[in-house]
Chain A
Amino acid sequence: MVQIGSGKGQPGAVPGWVGYALLPLLNLIAAFALSGLVILIIGENPVKVLSLMLTEAVGYPEAIGYTLYYTTNYIFTGLAVAIAFHCGLFNIGGEGQAYIGGLGAGLVALALTGWPWPVVMVLAIAASALFGAAWAFLPAWLQAKRGSHIVITTIMFNFIAASVMTYLLVDVLIRPGSQSPETREFDPGVWLPSMERALGWVGVTVPQSPLNLSFLWAIACCVLFQIFLRHTRWGYELRTVGRNERAAVYAGISPSRNIIIAMLISGALAGFVGINEILGVQHRILLNFTGGVGFVGIAVALMGRNHPVGIVLAALLFGVLAQGGGQVSFEYPTINRELVMVIQGLVILFAGAMENLFKPQVEALFRRRAASADTAVTAGRG
Chain B
Amino acid sequence: MDDLFILLLQLLGATIRVATPLVLAAFAGMYCERAGVVDIGLEGKMLAGAFFAAAAAATTGSPWLGLLAAMAAGVTLALIHGFACITHNGNQVVSGMAINILVAGLAPTLAYAWFKQGGQTPLLPSTARLPSVEMPGVEALGGVPVLGAVYRELVNDTNLLIWVTLVIVVATQWVLYRSRFGLRLRAVGENPSAVETAGISVTRLRYQALMVTGALTGMAGAYLSTGHGAGFVRDMTAGKGYLALAALIFGKWRPVPTLFACLLFAFTDAVQVRLQGVPLPGIGVIPVQFIQMLPYVLTVLLLAGFVGKAIAPKASGIPYVKER
Measured CB to CB, the residues of A under 8 A from B are 38, 41-43, 90, 92, 138-139, 142, 146-149, 151-153, 155-157, 159-160, 163-164, 166-167, 170-171, 295, 298-299, 302, 334-336, 338-346, 348-349, 352-357
| Interface status of B179 (Cβ within 8 A of chain A) | no
**A344 and B88 alpha carbons, distance in the complex (Å):** 20
Listed from nearest, the 8 A-B pairs whose CB atoms lie closest are A341-B105, A345-B102, A353-B95, A353-B90, A349-B98, A348-B98, A167-B289, A342-B105
**A139 and B289 alpha carbons, distance in the complex (Å):** 21
For A302, the chain B residues whose CB sits under 8 A away are: 91, 94
Which of B65-73, B106-114, B123-131, B253-261 is near enough to bind chain A?
B106-114
**A377 and B106 alpha carbons, distance in the complex (Å):** 52
For B246, the chain A residues whose CB sits under 8 A away are: 152, 156
B40, B93, B296: residue with the most chain A Cβ atoms closer than 10 Å? B296
**Given that A38-B106, A167-B290 are known contacts, is A148 also in contact with B304, CB under 8 Å in the complex?**
yes
For A43, the chain B residues whose CB sits under 8 A away are: 113
**A295 and B109 alpha carbons, distance in the complex (Å):** 19
How many A-B pairs have beta carbons closer than 8 Å: the answer is 156
**A38 and B99 alpha carbons, distance in the complex (Å):** 15
- Give the interface SS of chain A, mostly helix, strand, loop or mixed: helix
- Give the interface SS of chain B, mostly helix, strand, loop or mixed: helix
Contact of B80 among A149, A336, A342, A349 (CB under 8 A): A349
Is B106 a contact partner of A156 (Cβ separation < 8 A)? Answer: no
For A160, the chain B residues whose CB sits under 8 A away are: 293, 296-297, 300
Is A163 a contact partner of B109 (Cβ separation < 8 A)? Answer: no
Is A170 a contact partner of B289 (Cβ separation < 8 A)? Answer: yes
Size range of the chain B interface in the assembly: 35 or more
Q: Least Cβ distance of A235 to chain B in Å? A: 23
**A346 and B106 alpha carbons, distance in the complex (Å):** 10
Is A164 a contact partner of B289 (Cβ separation < 8 A)? Answer: yes
For A338, the chain B residues whose CB sits under 8 A away are: 104-106, 108-109, 112, 119
For A345, the chain B residues whose CB sits under 8 A away are: 98-106
**A42 and B105 alpha carbons, distance in the complex (Å):** 13
5 contacts between A and B (CB under 8 A): A148-B303, A334-B112, A338-B109, A344-B102, A345-B101
For B290, the chain A residues whose CB sits under 8 A away are: 163, 167
**A156 and B300 alpha carbons, distance in the complex (Å):** 7
